[in-house]
Structure formats: C-alpha cells, structure tokens
Amino acid sequence: MPHRPHDSLDLSTGASTPPPSPETPGPRPWLSVRWRCCSTYSRIYRHPKATEYVGGCPRCGKPVRIKVGPGGTGNRMFEAG
C-alpha cells in the first residue's frame, strides 16, 4: 500500500490537564476520530511529550496528527481521512 502523507489538520485540543508524571502514571489521553476514508471510528492517543495526538485509520492506515496548543478546542471527537 502506498504511503499517504499526514492529514494537514490544523486543530488544537487545548488540553486542560498536564501529562501524568512518571511517579503517578494515569490513563493516556485520547481523542475519538471518525475516519471518512473507511467509515470507521478509532482512538488516537496523545504523544508522550504532550505536543500532539497521533494515530491512523485502523483499516487503511491513513495517518493523522492533531496538535495541542493554547487557545485550542475542548472537542474530543474529530473527522479525518
């Protein structure tokens, strides 16, 4: 299967909770994504450096990155693909 470039979504999540520290690990933050390319849903998880959420379509593998930043959105569901 050919490699597809990352979706160029310029979304920020505006996450309000800091990443868990190594001393007190917690659940890994995630977002829900509806994949238009394959009509499916999945979770994408926040990168350990807390700068973005990274994942891919569970069927075709199309990747997506959603940046974390100030002034972002509180949405937890997105569409990609």
Look at residue 20 and tell me if it is in a domain.
Answer: no
Look at residue 37 and tell me if it is in a domain.
Answer: yes
Residue 10 structure tokens: 């310029």
Looking at residue 4, its pLDDT comes to 45
Look at residue 57 and tell me if it is in a domain.
Answer: yes
Look at residue 5 and tell me if it is in a domain.
Answer: no
What's the number of domains the chain is made of?
1
For the chain, how far is it from start to end, CA to CA, in angstroms? 16
Are 66 and 9 spatial neighbours (Cβ–Cβ below 8 Å)?
yes
Look at residue 73 and tell me if it is in a domain.
Answer: yes
Look at residue 38 and tell me if it is in a domain.
Answer: yes
Look at residue 66 and tell me if it is in a domain.
Answer: yes
Predicted confidence (pLDDT) per residue in 30-61, tens digit: 999 999 999 999 999 998 888 999 999 999 99
Look at residue 23 and tell me if it is in a domain.
Answer: no
Looking at residue 79, its pLDDT comes to 93
10, pLDDT greater than 80: no
Please tell me which residue, 76 or 21, carries the higher pLDDT value: 76
**Domain boundaries, position 64:** 30-80
Single pTM value for the model: 0.63
